[in-house]
Structure 1
Amino acid sequence: MSTTPDPADAVSTAVIVVNGRGQYLLHLRDAHKPICDPGTWSLVGGAPEAGESPDRAIVREIHEETGLVLPDVTPFTTARADGPYVTENHILVYLAHWDGDAHGLPVTEGITFLWADLPTMAQMTMCPWAYEAIRAHAAEHPAGAVPEPRPPVDRRSETGAVRNVIGAHLFLERDGTTLLGLRHPDSAFAVSTWHALAGHVERESVRACLVREAWEEAGLVVEPADLTLVHTVHVLDRADAEPRIQLFFAASRWSGTPAVREPEKCTAWEWWPLDALPEPTVAYTRAAIDGIRAGRAYTELGWDAPWGPARRSGRPRRAVGRAEPE
């Protein structure tokens, strides 16, 4: 049975998210950073900020890490963490329900998201306290004793402001070539595809994100003052996806030789001619490089596809992925 949660004692938060099939949402933590439980499958969560209650903290953490706003997030149990780099060992664990595509969630921290049932978790490298909390929930709620799945959200019907995920990309040019990385075969995005050095912008400026990602991913040193915005791609991948704003910054100078520092994400760095990019290359990366070479500042992709608002509203359609001049 779960313990009685006491929010007053909590110094950190986490959430068990379960779907209608009795599966749990797992978050793969970075393996090569000085953090608690590195390289394990764990739960979404984090510590409250100054003056913030645990209830508000978990709602904020869910949105920051997954982009979701979940109804009925309620306290479930408590857990204690131990080991290196643990700073908040008393964790208030919440419970929420959601039916959606785990792989479609934006990855702002860690590696990827995954739905898994308890037997599958027994074969995975699990964060110990998260595993025990999930086991406690599974014992009280056998598979099938959760609400039926709800239909996926169709964002074509949304009105008003919606969240746009921001991606930061580094465009390096050297003697008519540009640096691209080959994505890992098991990556959650762009499997075995060439892509610019990039990352999701966390609670930081875009330039700070690129400085961090350049060092973490490739061992390159870039100064913020040497970064200039050269192209923006606004992407809508599908009807139920969050729109994404992909910013490409050129570096006027940098130091270091590209090296594979996160092999679970990228298996190689190579310089490719600007007029002969490799196949396959991520579509919006190719569009951005084409736009940079043509002197354009902005490209739209996907907005005129069958799921896009332009098609739905009956406005005249342009070719999908066509680069629009500023």
Structure 2
Amino acid sequence: MDKPWFHIYGAVYLLFVREGKLLMLRRTNTGYEDGKFSLVAGKLDGGEEVKQAAIREAEEEIGIRLHPDNLEVVLVMHRMSDSGEWVDFFLRVNAWEGEPFNNEPEKCSEMAWFPLEILPDATIPHVRQAISRIREGVVYDSFGWDI
């Protein structure tokens, strides 16, 4: 008997760095890790390439315009969570147009720049690990697996 196909989810996370500081957003009213800091991020909607999803999320969340040539995938994370199995793409944003602002105040209670080496204590654990691995030059990591 054939094993049924499993479902995997995808997400993009954007690293906006300016003067050694990383842009982070505090989640609110989302039902997932509310009160904790993350990056500009979102699920893949399906039918869109990773960089297209990143461009969409940046405009939706912080009103920034991006060009695909200015995006670089710096880490892929295979993650297991309570909501299922995920493949997360972390992209460094090398240039952008506009000044970031909180374009989704109903989902984001705070937006701030933090030193890359001193993230807020309330950072989502897999995001903290991903940022650490990126700083180490790692390009693939996993999270939430008992291996």
TM-score by shorter chain over 0.5: yes
2:116 matched to 1:274?
Answer: yes
- Equivalent position of 1:179 in the other structure: 23
d(CA) in 1 for partners of 2:102 and 2:110?
Answer: 6
Letter in 1 for 2:33: A
d(CA) in 1 for partners of 2:102 and 2:17?
Answer: 19
Give runs of ≥4 in structure 1 deviating > 2 Å.
none
Letter in 2 for 1:192: G
- Equivalent position of 1:262 in the other structure: 104
d(CA) in 1 for partners of 2:64 and 2:27?
Answer: 18
d(CA) in 1 for partners of 2:126 and 2:119?
Answer: 13
Local SS of the residue matching 1:246? strand
Q: Pick from 63, 66, 80: which aligns with 1:219?
A: 63
Gaps of 5+ in 1: 1-158, 305-316, 318-326
- Equivalent position of 2:8 in the other structure: 164
User: Cα RMSD between the aligned structures?
Assistant: 1.3
2:50 matched to 1:194?
Answer: no
Cα distance, 1:168 vs structure 2:
0.8
Cα distance, 1:160 vs structure 2:
5.8
Gaps of 5+ in 2: none
Question: Which structure 2 residues correspond to residues 1-326 of structure 1 after superposition, within 5 A?
Answer: 159=3, 161-184=5-28, 186-202=29-45, 203-238=47-82, 241-304=83-146, 317=147
Local SS of the residue matching 1:243? strand
- Equivalent position of 1:81 in the other structure: none
d(CA) in 2 for partners of 1:293 and 1:160?
Answer: 38
Local SS of the residue matching 2:84? coil
d(CA) in 1 for partners of 2:31 and 2:12?
Answer: 18
Count of residue pairs brought into register by the alignment: 144
With structure 1 as the length reference, what TM-score do the two structures score?
A: 0.43
With structure 2 as the length reference, what TM-score do the two structures score?
A: 0.92
Letter in 2 for 1:258: P
